[in-house]
Amino acid sequence: HIHLVLSIPPKYSVSMVIGYLKGKSAIHIHRKAEGVKKGFIGRHFWSRGYCASTIGLDEEMIRAYVRDQEHLDKQEELDFTQNP
């Protein structure tokens, strides 16, 4: 689960940029974590979907949300393990 704040030039579609990021990062992760040098066809790392918002929300509010997400996720995990 990853949160990003991106600015995409109008000449690129959101789906193309997300596809590129997911593809290149999956290859990099397979190379680093699994030592795989080639043969990525048929391998899957990311889920198919994504969520994007282009409605012009307050950018600083979104950046703060993304910055704080790791802390919030850890707190939720801690709460769950203490109160299953």
Residue 54 is classified by DSSP as: -
Q: Decide if 84 contacts 76 (C-beta within 8 A).
A: no
Residues 6+ apart with CB under 8 A from 44: 26
Q: What are the catalytic residues? A: 65
